Amino acid sequence: MTTPATVGGKAFLIAYGLFGCAGTILFFNLFLERIISLLAFIMRACRERQLRRSGLLPATFRRGSALSEADSLAGWKPSVYHVLLILGLFAVLLSCCASAMYTSVEGWDYVDSLYFCFVTFSTIGFGDLVSSQHAAYRNQGLYRLGNFLFILLGVCCIYSLFNVISILIKQVLNWMLRKLSCRCCARCCPAPGAPLSRRNAITPGSRLRRRLAALGADPAARDSDAEGRRLSGELISMRDLTASNKVSLALLQKQLSETANGYPRSVCVNTRQNGFSGGVGALGIMNNRLAETSASR
């Protein structure tokens, strides 16, 4: 319950807090990156073991080989739901152990101890329950050490859990926005008889509809499977094909290069970009390391 009282102490707190809070956030992000890497390593090992048992991997399989790249195990990422489950179970176990300590030492009810653990681990900090406020404790040094370790691990675990939950919230919001855009956007739901807008060089637009109408063809004679694609008899210029398939051409060039070399390019673990490369902070780490978020960044 110590607070600064003088002007110098308050000024020192402001200056120290700028670097202290930034360093703490960096520590939490590094902890999140390491724990996600550890979970990914363990879950990938379980995945390889499952593939071996099912016969999809040979007995002579080794990590880092060309076969690993071919079977897409090098780029395999754990599911965000599995990481959420593991972090949730670890947070519950940690809170139960800490609550048992606070109940026996502080004399609180077990429910109050659980409440104190959540408020403290989530850094809400109401202050209605504060530990280590008595004058003396039995084994006071050991209790303070345990209190420090529980709070440190609890804050790191809850911070990681909150970031995984934020990823799930982002996915739900993206799903809702896609549903709303598909229902409300005039592009997805055009009015009857309105010309179709030309989204790209592959999708036929109003110009193509007028050309088909001039030739006597039915512009609406397209089934649901051919929606958004050119018909077999339609022509497309090389410039439109190149402009609409930049990504496909880049992938084709990469595949040709790998075929010429005789093996796909292996990505070294040490030279691979860290968790901060694809974004800033915890969201960048989760987007790079988990499966469901990599395709929706």
In this predicted model, what pLDDT tens digit does every residue of 133-174 receive, in sequence order? 888 888 899 999 999 999 999 999 999 999 999 989 988 999
If we measure between CA atoms, which residue out of 269, 42, 283, 88 comes closest to residue 166? 283
If we measure between CA atoms, which residue out of 210, 203, 212, 211 comes closest to residue 240? 203
Tokens of 69: 């790249």
pLDDT tier for residue 5 given thresholds of 50, 70 and 90: very high
Residues in contact with 117: Cβ distance below 8 Å, sequence separation at least 6, in sequence order: 95, 98, 99, 102, 150, 154
pTM: 0.63
Answer whether residue 21 shows pLDDT above 60: yes
* Cβ–Cβ < 8 Å for 258, 5: no
Q: Scan for tokens 């990590």, then name that residue.
A: 63
Q: Is 243 exposed, middle or buried (0-12, 13-18, 19+ CB in 10 A)?
A: exposed
In this predicted model, what pLDDT tens digit does every residue of 31-89 receive, in sequence order? 998 998 898 889 888 888 887 788 766 665 555 454 443 345 666 778 889 899 999 99
Q: Is 112 exposed, middle or buried (0-12, 13-18, 19+ CB in 10 A)?
A: middle
Residues in contact with 69: Cβ distance below 8 Å, sequence separation at least 6, in sequence order: 263, 264, 265, 266
Residue 201 sits at φ, ψ, to 5 deg, of -70, -20
